[in-house]
Amino acid sequence: MGNGDYDSYSSGMNVESVHRVAIPPPQPFFESLKYSMKETLFPDDPLRKFKNQPASKKLVLALQHFLPILEWGPKYTLPFLKSDLIAGITIASLAIPQGISYAKLANLPPILGLYSSFIPPLIYAMMGSSRDLAVGTVAVGSLLMASMLGREVSPTENPTLFLHLAFTATFFAGLLQLSLGLFRLGFIVDFLSHAAIVGFMGGAATVVCLQQLKSILGLEKFTHKADVVSVMNSVFSQTHEWRWESAVLGCCFIFFLLVTRYFSKRQPKFFWVSAMAPLTSVILGSILVYLTHAEKHGVQVIGNLKKGLNPPSATDLVFVSPYMGTAIKTGLITGIIALAEGIAVGRSFAMFKNYHIDGNKEMIAIGTMNIFGSLTSCYLTTGPFSRSAVNYNAGCKTAASNIVMSIAVMLTLLFLTPLFHYTPLVVLSAIIVSAMLGLIDYQAAIHLWKIDKFDFLVCFSAYIGVVFGSVEIGLVLAVAISVLRVLLFIARPRTFVLGNIPNSSAYRNVEHYPNAHHVPGILILEIDAPIYFANASYLRERITRWINEEEEKIKGAGSTSLQYVIVDMTAVANIDTSGISMLEEFKKSVDRTGLQLVLVNPGSEVTKKLNKSKFLDEIGHKWVYVTVEEAVGVCSSFMLHTQKANPMKDESEGLNNNI
């Protein structure tokens, strides 16, 4: 179509009714870079509150940013103290037995579970932004640490080195978490999708439950591997070593814990029943063992727990090869998992209470408490769901409930540790099993299957990887498949054929709206993603296939020949040089077939780049419109004008002459 033909036609129609796509004003490179960096690293604009403030106020705001306790502390009231006191005592009753249990799961001295429930919660109370997160050790993190460190150092043959590596891994986990928060790189954690976390947690919970068969059956020798085949082989190869006394005791306590949890779920006002159940189990189990001398009949007990507060462990950190690499690897993986769990739990309860938590602040708080924890004989801590749920149901108002819990644990460390001497290990295993069964979220897996089969594949792969491989394999599989899906979204974006909704000016996907009809002589396509080097070739091939399919339909139906290809670029947020080259090649291709390419509503960034590359000049500014409706109106009117001007000519010949 020549410019003269278009101009002569345009002079006869109301061109003022057609809106043109404006070329954005040029923006300096460094301004554009600054804007992009701000949107990437500071999407929440944390510096907004510092604007137009005096220096003294800025200092106060900065301190409150890193120490939220300075913000809510001055507003603290007596009713808040009452609520936090009840919540703190309640979660302490859960934290003490859970801490001891999870330390055993990590192949660490049981006392470390109490140490880790003393110092880290105090630090989080000062630095955390969540009102509901209850800090402590977690089963998955404990399992990861035992599994990864256990491959290099035996916790039974060299327990001191294993302990020091656990402190070192915790230090590097905290360093990673703190760095992600300070440099505002929290989006990295988002690569662990919800589906991946559901599968990973479920697989880890399954493995943890199976490993508790060691204590439940009273076995002394057990595999250090975490996969289900090795665990079951270890269990059934020692049937002659099974202790029925221990098994009966374990099953009874598991039943008791599950019943109390079920009751508390059915009657939320009695939340304290399930919260107190683990400590009740420890007390009952200890009394039972003491009275019956069950430790002499195959029931293993904790033994002596060292009395006193956390000893310093800064000098125990291992910064020499070959163990430092193992500590770093373990710290990075456990740090990411702990961070993902803590932030997810915090956001969940913040949503229930309608307040906002800052993900980067949480990373700084969790990272700082793990760094300080590694220096004070603590291992990896975060915000476990079970403890936080109890804290929430107990009516906590602020993070001060963590302080109350720390004080309760401190008193336990100072005066009550001898009382745990007769606590049977089978009770600790029962506590772990009952907690882990809640992490196997089969309902979420069913929901994923119904909604998105690919998400279910991610979930299932993570579960199978953990259960039949190892925790690391499951994690790698989950992340790899999640990243693969992101890459598929980028490399294989969706394209749609649009049609007109009857009695409206709207154009929608004809697969979504079967009643939308095609416009004769015009193919309308929509690209639903940015155009990058990764998808440019695919888009060229896919659009060409759309054109070929449309021409075959027209040929079979004997309808008006295809003359225009309209590409709706509303959803194309950006384009790179490979994408522009693709459009240039595609333009030449449609020119050779006698078709006219028309663009609709390219975004600001896309328009800017198309203009700088001279592509808009090549296609002609007159073939770029703001809406699909306007583009279709102009193309339809011009086809009608062409047919009237050339009534005796063949359509294809007339079209070729115009072009």
Biggest alpha carbon–alpha carbon distance for the chain: 110
* C-alpha–C-alpha distance, residues 142 and 330, integer Å: 11
Q: What is the DSSP letter of 241?
A: G
- Give residue 600's pLDDT: 95
Domain 492-658: top CATH class: alpha beta
8 Å CB contact between 129 and 68: yes
Q: What is the pLDDT of residues 306-360, one digit of tens each?
A: 899 999 999 999 998 889 999 999 999 999 889 888 888 888 888 888 888 888 8
Q: What is the pLDDT of residues 379-403, one digit of tens each?
A: 999 988 878 888 888 889 999 999 9
Q: What is the pLDDT of residues 249-296, one digit of tens each?
A: 889 999 999 999 889 888 888 878 888 888 889 899 899 888 888 777
Tell me whether the omega of the peptide bond preceding residue 322 falls within 30 degrees of 0, making it cis. yes
Dihedral sign, Cα of residue 415, residue 383, residue 154, residue 322: negative
- Give residue 354's pLDDT: 84
Give the distance, in angstroms, between the CA of residue 648 and the centroid of all CA atoms in the same chain: 65
Sequence-ordered list of residues with C-beta below 8 angstroms from that of 82, at least 6 positions apart, any chain: none
Q: What is the pLDDT of residues 484-528, one digit of tens each?
A: 888 888 899 999 999 999 989 899 999 999 999 888 889 999 999
Whether pLDDT at 298 is above 90? no
Q: Helices (DSSP H) in 296-424: which residue ranges?
A: 323-353, 359-374, 385-393, 400-411
The string of DSSP codes covering 458-487 is HHHHHHHHHHHT-HHHHHHHHHHHHHHHHH
* C-alpha–C-alpha distance, residues 643 and 636, integer Å: 11
Q: Which residue has the tokens 């590596």?
A: 165
Mean pLDDT on 27-36? 78
The residue that leads in pLDDT, 160 or 50, is 160
* C-alpha–C-alpha distance, residues 100 and 431, integer Å: 10
Q: Helices (DSSP H) in 183-316: which residue ranges?
A: 194-211, 213-216, 228-236, 244-266, 271-292
Q: Helices (DSSP H) in 106-158: which residue ranges?
A: 111-115, 119-127, 139-150
- Give residue 11's pLDDT: 44
Helix, strand, or coil (residue 279): helix
- Give residue 654's pLDDT: 40
**Which tokens sit at 444?**
């979420």
Where is 527: in which H helix or E strand? strand 522-527
Whether pLDDT at 182 is above 60? yes
- Give residue 248's pLDDT: 87
Percent of the chain whose predicted confidence (pLDDT) is above 90: 41
8 Å CB contact between 235 and 241: no
Burial class (CB in 10 A: 0-12, 13-18, 19+), 291: exposed
Mean pLDDT on 145-149? 90
Start-to-end CA distance of the chain, whole Å, equals: 3
* C-alpha–C-alpha distance, residues 130 and 124, integer Å: 9
8 Å CB contact between 442 and 147: no
Q: What is the pLDDT of residues 411-470, one digit of tens each?
A: 999 998 888 888 888 888 888 888 888 778 889 999 999 999 889 988 999 899 989 988
8 Å CB contact between 113 and 98: yes
* C-alpha–C-alpha distance, residues 445 and 457, integer Å: 10
The residue that leads in pLDDT, 534 or 241, is 534
Whether pLDDT at 659 is above 70? no
149-153, 241-245, 572-576: least confidently modelled range = 241-245
* C-alpha–C-alpha distance, residues 646 and 640, integer Å: 10
Q: What is the pLDDT of residues 220-249, one digit of tens each?
A: 777 777 788 888 888 888 888 888 888 888
Residue type, 482: S
8 Å CB contact between 632 and 565: no
Full-prediction pTM beyond 0.85?
no
Q: Helices (DSSP H) in 375-422: which residue ranges?
A: 385-393, 400-411
- Give residue 49's pLDDT: 79
The residue that leads in pLDDT, 245 or 600, is 600
The string of DSSP codes covering 17-85 is GSPBPPPPPP--HHHHHHHHHHHHH-TT-TTGGGTT--HHHHHHHHHHHH-THHHHGGG--HHHHHHHH
- Would you kindly state where each structural domain of the chain is located, as residue ranges? 76-486, 492-658
211-231 core/surface letters (b: 16 or more CB in 10 A; e: else): bbbbbbbbbeebbebbbbeeb
Whether pLDDT at 13 is above 60? no
* C-alpha–C-alpha distance, residues 169 and 167, integer Å: 6
Q: What is the pLDDT of residues 601-629, one digit of tens each?
A: 999 999 999 999 999 999 988 899 999 99
8 Å CB contact between 383 and 135: yes
Whether pLDDT at 131 is above 70? yes
